[in-house]
Amino acid sequence: GTPDFGGGPVGPDHAGMAGMAGTTSVDRLREPPGPADVDVTLVARGGRVTLPSGRVVDGFTLNGTTPGPEIRAVQGQLVQVRLVNENVAEGVTLHWHGYDVPAGDDGVAGVTQDAVRPGGSFVYRFRAGQAGTYWYHSHQVADPQVQGGLFGALVVTPTDGLGGTGDVTAVTHLYQGRRTVNGLDGDVAAPGAPGTRVRVRVVNTDNGPVQVWVGGAPYRLAAIDGTDVTGPTPTSDALNVTAGARADLEIDLPADGAGVRVELGGASAVTFGRPAAPTPRPRGELDPLRYGSPAALPFDPAAADRRFDYVIGRRLGFLDGTPGLFWTINGHLWPDVPMFVVREGDVVRMHIDNRSGQLHPMHLHGHHAVVLARDGVPATGSPWWVDSLDAQDGHTYDVAFVADNPGLWMDHCHNLTHPAEGLMAHLMYE
Ligand code: C2O
Ligand code: CU
């Protein structure tokens, strides 16, 4: 099978790429030993699981719950997570989605490590360099494992705190087609005193996008994919949060205690204040390309060292000897796809052209890219940094990033049925 999505090797060791001739061993790119500030053990288990709502589904838990425990760190801390596989026969890993960890800790079965076999364990370590909202999930036969619940939130707060702003995480997930927030069905009441400001961290763990809007108060889109938006202004538009993406919403709760509802797809909500009726989806949709105020980039995208053209298509072919209609990159099926080769320090530009007939939430591991233009129209708002890009059918995206994290990195669609059908590539440092 294809590494990871069809199932990577389940190993007794942590060899990862060590066995690949002529390539850098990602296994060597690890956080050096030392005492950890945040030290967590997560035990993965498969079988019948009971959601916080009481509903029983076939799936996976971490320490007995799904979502797994939220991992919280303060910027600058060293995080250590020991993953133990109790009984998942296919093996498990943990990938730190959106977090720029060292390559050897990226958790991609068959690429950066072997999957942890039942009875085995693996220790992940990384420095919490970036504040913001992220998540973790298994990256071994990832579609069933993530859909089945093997994930949790990763939140890193700034060293100087949030200045009295309330802090609420809203992990949304469809378990067998039903929308939940933090594992609960329906509405979830969150703490937040009238007249205070709260930050709601929406994490979309699904294969598809979720529409988010707020009833009862305007909101500011404070961060996208863990990166602060510059100059966010109050809006009441709906927000599209693509698969794998995160959005931090800042809301000033009404002083009179009137109800505020953060609607997640219209099927589930995080609520504040007095109970209030669900609000219909607003007509307007926020466009991150135009939202917020412009700010200087930390590099010059015009002076790109590498340019990659990335056309997403679809055609008949064979994958693992099986015929079917598969996703392609520049006309090729995985593994016959281009390897994006970079050198450390390169400014990289990618032109992504989706002509495949479907939406693809493209996720690049280990890096954050800034969206420069959509359909050739340059961005006019805040720098729009993403690790999960909503690449819509019939549209083009120009993105840029700095190759500042050596290793071998996946770049794939986060509709997790798609990479198993060909839609994945790799970024490799030479
Ligand atoms: Cu969240 Cu390679 O995935
Ligand atoms: Cu896709």
CA 229 – ligand 2 centroid, Å? 26
* In the predicted structure, residue 402 carries a pLDDT above the cut 70: yes
Residue type at 266?
G
Query: Among all ligands shown, which has an atom nearest to the Cα of 96?
Result: 1
pTM of the predicted protein model:
0.95
* φ, ψ (nearest 5 deg) of residue 202: -85, 125
Q: What mean pLDDT do residues 205-213 have?
A: 97
Instruction: Give dist(CA 267, CA 212) in Å, integer.
Output: 10
Average pLDDT over residues 105-124: 95
- At 12 the pLDDT is 55
DSSP string, 141-166: SHHHHHHTT-EEEEEEE-TTTTTT-E
pLDDT in tens, 27-77: 678 888 889 999 999 999 999 888 877 888 899 999 999 999 999 999 999
Q: In what order do the strands lie in the sheet with 408-413?
A: 339-342, 424-429, 408-413, 360-364, 388-391
Ligand 1 pocket, residue 365 CB under 6 Å: yes
Report residue 3's pLDDT band, with 50, 70 and 90 as the boundaries.
low
How does strand 95-97 pair with strand 184-185?
Answer: unpaired
Looking at the CA of 136, which ligand is closest?
Answer: 1
Share the mean pLDDT of the chain: 93
Query: So what's the ipTM on this one?
Result: 0.97
Q: Is the pLDDT reported for residue 21 higher than 60? A: no
- Average pLDDT on 409-422 reads 92
* Ligand 1 touching residue 418 (CB < 6 A): no
Q: What is the CA radius of gyration of the chain?
A: 21
Architecture per CATH, domain 10-157, reads as: Sandwich (2.60)
Nearest CA to ligand 1 atom 3: 97
What is the phi/psi pair of residue 421, to 5°? Answer: -105, 25
CA 104 to ligand 1 center in whole angstroms: 15
Domain boundaries, the chain: 10-157, 166-272, 301-429
| pLDDT the model gives residue 195 | 98
Token pair for 94: 């943990």
Overall average pLDDT of the 383-412 stretch:
97
Is 261 close to ligand 1, i.e. is its CB under 6 Å away?
no
Q: List, for residues 240-276, the tens digit of each pLDDT value.
A: 999 999 999 999 999 999 999 999 999 999 999 999 9
Please report the pLDDT score of residue 2 as a whole number.
Answer: 58
How many angstroms is it from 414 CA to the middle of ligand 2? Answer: 6
Position 17 scores a pLDDT of 44
- Residue 251 makes CB contacts below 8 A (sequence gap 6+) with 197, 198, 200, 214, 217, 218, 219, 220, 260, 262, 272
Does the beta carbon of 410 sit less than 6 angstroms from any atom of ligand 1? yes
Residue in the block written with tokens 């966010």: 232
C-alpha 412 to ligand 2 mean position (Å): 8
199 lines ligand 1 (CB under 6 A): no
Query: 387: exposed, middle or buried (C-beta count within 10 Å: 0-12, 13-18, 19+)?
Result: buried
Architecture label for domain 166-272: Sandwich (2.60)
User: Could you name the CATH architecture of 301-429?
Assistant: Sandwich (2.60)
Q: Is the CB of 220 under 6 A from ligand 1?
A: no
Which range has the worst mean pLDDT, 7-16, 63-72, 272-281, 369-378? 7-16
Q: What is the pLDDT of residues 315-325, one digit of tens each?
A: 998 888 889 89
Do the domains at 166-272 and 301-429 have one common CATH topology? yes
